[in-house]
Structure 1
Amino acid sequence: MRLSGKQKRAFRFIGITAAVYLSFRFLLPLVIPFLLAYWIGLAVTPSAKWMKEHLRIPEVAGAVIMMLLAGIILAGVCFLLGEQLVQQLSRLAERLPGYLDTAQRWLEGCCRSAERFFHLEDGLLLQKAGQMLQNAGEQLQSTIMPMVMENSVSIVVWVIEVTTVLAITIMAAVLSVKEREGIRKLKEESMYSREIQMVCKPVARVGQAYLRSQAIILVIIIAICITGLFLIGNTYSVVLGILIGLLDALPLFGTGTVLIPWALILLVTGNFYQAAVLLTVYLVCYFIREILEAKLMGKRTGMTPLETMLVMYVGLRLFGLIGLFLGPIGWLLIKEIDKTLKVA
């Protein structure tokens, strides 16, 4: 039976989807350090070539120098942010009893008002609320403590694994610079060179475009949120700025989930300057994401918000939390490979 053009395309699309899913499920965990190493090598190669031409430094040594500089800068930034994070978390822990007392007084006031409104016995709602909070605290404690004890060894193993993978990635990045010509020649002389190019080009283009754009946008938005909270004198500007910035990476939430209600509360209480700053931060973050996504990703590979939400949910169901990132990348790869095979 001869297949029609639509049937052929449907089978091709199903095959590509299955191949991408199986690659993400079984192959990606094995090769991801080397993919990262290859991209790092590509990033430092121009600087290494410049150092070789102008400073007479060997290309591999130049690549190592650039990686060390990037690592030192990244470590410095992380140290400064981490220091502020620890200080603000310590301050929060010191003031937490006062915050809890304020919350308790607010709860007591709400319960008394409700008792008067519904003509209930004095102290009834407050007693029930206290019992519920006590039960919730006991249940949380009984759940968290065993979990911490059981997973303490797993955390140590995870740290060792991450350190090992990081070391392998750095060494592989240096070797990828050293053996760049050999890798290129191997791809060109392979009997599957056409197929390799057909798959690798869209994979590299889409993967780099998505990860690079999301990383740049995330850093910029976190910096904007921290700056805005610092301007209104918030004591926990770094902690909250990082959390709000991370929310922006999720289409279901975004910075508006926190900033808009917060700004409205400030408006109602008469804090117009702080409300204006938070609304400005929200608008700046919104337009930054819209502009940079269109610029960095390009309209050809861009996705609508509904499409992004759908593939992120599918990725979450298939791969867990990391699927929030693998979902969009996988969908873009499927479309790009399908388009390439259609043209071929």
Structure 2
Amino acid sequence: MRVFNPYLLHQIFRGALVAALLYFGWWAARYVTPLVYPFILGWLLAYLLNPVINLLQRRAKFPRWLSVTTVILILIALTVTAVTLLVTKVIVELGALAVNLQNNINTWGDKAANFWNSSWFQGVIGQLNNFMKSNNLDLSTNLSSVTGTVADFSSNAVKAIVNSLISIVQSLPNIATVAIIVLLATFFISKDWYLIVMRYTAIIPETARKAVRLISGDLHKALFGFLKAQLILVSLTALAVIIGLLILRVDYAITIGLLIGLCDLMPYLGTGAVMVPWIIYAFFSGNVYLGIGLSVLYGLIVIVRQIMEPKVLASSVGLDPLAALIALFVGLKLFGFIGLILGPVLMVVMTAIYRAHVFHDIVTYIKKGSEANAEVR
């Protein structure tokens, strides 16, 4: 009498092998990626620059190494120029904006002091103090507690900002080192691109290469399509804000519009992180025209963003609008802010893997072994 079915035993073994390989892949992605990410970035950059390098090599008759060097130097020059012009413009307007903000803060402080010293407010405080004394409560103690809490919060906020700035400054050498490594990796990978491709082709079987080509094509569309979609959405938001602020005749409209456009990348808050406090201040300061204008502008931005985001993602990433919306929500819930990027990309990865019949091949291998996959192919 047989205790074990050999066929079932082989299935269990193959299933355990697949599970072990998946676990090893997850472990490698989690612990090895932080060690090699500059070279991954270098490969992605080389992949993007390869068509331009080929064009220069073909038209200008440059040797490969010279084409790679020229394209990388042009990329560095364009990036440095664009960043310098943008940072210069923003710094100039931020300086003027900071002066204006300091003047507003002083105005707010004077208004708060006048309100505090007003007879009406002092009368309210007196009545409240009498009421609290009748209930054996000390108003001054409670006000001191509130004041201490506000002071502690302000102090902690300032410390957090200072620590963030210090961390950014301290990380600059590391960022510069990583940037140099990425550029060097891009150069060497681009220079030997076709040699690397030939070696890869010789090692990996044709069936696996077909699956990898299909998956990489979909990933290319997903990754760069998502970046394109976010760039489109942020640009639309920034452009709408700039136009709205120009119509409202707000100073420093370009800088404020760019900053609010970047805030649109923030989860939950988005443009509201800037617009809502600004609207409240406009109404409290008596500038009803500006408050109404900002309210209308903010409402339009929120509505357009909610309508456009699934459609732009669907057209750029290749997902159904409902699937894109689900991917955004699930990614946000599981991974937080980074989930807004990982969610759609992971969904496209799963779709690409499914289209490449990887799941089907795994199930077939577990059930029948590698010979069955060979017969199917």
Matched residue, 2:53: 48
1:304-319 alignment, distance < 5 Å? 304-316=324-336
Structure 1 position 225, deviation (Å): 3.3
How far does residue 311 in structure 1 lie from its aligned partner after superposition? 1.5
Aligned to 1:120: 128
User: CA 1:160 to 1:237, structure 2 compared with 1: closer, same or farther past 3 Å?
Assistant: same
Q: Distance in 1 between matches of 2:91 and 2:240?
A: 20
SS of equivalent residue, structure 1 residue 182 = helix
1:196 Cα deviation from its structure 2 partner: 6.1
Structure 1 CA distance, aligned partners of 2:234 and 2:189? 28
Note the C-alpha offset of 1:297.
0.9
Residue 78 of structure 1: how far off its partner (Å): 1.8
Report the Cα distance in structure 1 between the residues aligned to 2:321 and 2:40, rounded to whole angstroms.
Answer: 21
Q: Aligned letter for 2:196?
A: I
Matched position secondary structure for 1:234: coil
Is residue 260–residue 282 contact of structure 1 (8 Å, CA) maintained in 2? no
Distance 1:330 1:65 in 2: 35
- Are positions 1:74 and 2:79 aligned together? yes
| DSSP 3-state at the match of 2:289 | coil
Deviation at 1:190, TM superposition (A): 1.0
Change (3 A) 1:226 1:183: farther
CA contact under 8 A between 2:69 and 2:187: conserved in structure 1?
yes
Query: 353, 356, 366: which is aligned to 1:337?
Result: 353
Matched, 1:83 2:102: no
Structure 1 residue identity aligned to 2:359? K
CA distance 1:38–1:202, change in 2 (3 Å) = same
* Number of aligned positions between the proteins: 333
Tell me which residue corresponds to 1:184: 197
For 2:214 and 2:321, locate their aligned partners in 1 and report how far apart those are by CA, in whole Å.
Answer: 14
| Cα distance change of structure 1 residues 286 and 73 upon mapping to structure 2, 3 Å threshold | farther
- Give the unaligned 5+ runs of structure 1: none
Are 1:222 and 2:205 matched, yes or no? no
Q: Report the alpha carbon displacement of residue 208 of structure 1 after superposing the two structures with TM.
A: 3.5
Tell me if 1:247 matches 2:263. Answer: yes
Q: Which has the larger radius of gyration?
A: 2
Question: 176-185 vs 77-86, which deviates more?
Answer: 77-86
What is the DSSP-based 3-state SS (H/G/I as helix, E as strand, rest coil) of the residue aligned with 1:270?
A: helix
8 Å CA contact 2:327–2:347 kept in 1: the answer is: no
What TM-score comes out, normalization by structure 2 length? 0.67
Q: CA separation of 1:160/1:83 partners in 2, compared to 1, >3 Å: closer, same or farther?
A: same
Across the aligned residues of Structure 1 and Structure 2, the Cα RMSD in angstroms comes to 4.6
| Secondary structure of 2:128 counterpart | coil
Paired residues for 1:146-295 under 5 Å: 148=162, 152=166, 155-191=168-204, 194-195=207-208, 198=211, 201-202=214-215, 204-205=219-220, 206-255=222-271, 259=275, 269-271=288-290, 285=305, 288-295=308-315
Displacement of 1:58 in angstroms is 2.7
Return the TM-score normalized by structure 1: 0.72
Residue segments in structure 2 that go unaligned for 5+ positions in a row: 131-137, 362-377
Identity of aligned residues (%): 18
1:270 corresponds to which letter in structure 2? Y
Q: How does 1:298-309 map to 2 (within 5 A)?
A: 298-299=318-319, 303-309=323-329
Offset of 1:181 from its aligned partner? 1.1
User: CA shift at 1:151, angstroms?
Assistant: 8.5
Could you tell me whether the CA contact under 8 Å between 1:41 and 1:174 is conserved in 2? yes
CA displacement 1:32-75 (0-9 Å, x = unmatched): 22222222222222222222222222344233323333332332
| AA matched with 2:146 | M
CA contact (8 A) 2:242 2:257 kept: yes
Partners of 1:312 and 1:327 within 8 A in 2:
yes
Q: Provide the C-alpha distance between the structure 2 equivalents of 1:83 and 1:127, rounded to a whole number of angstroms.
A: 49
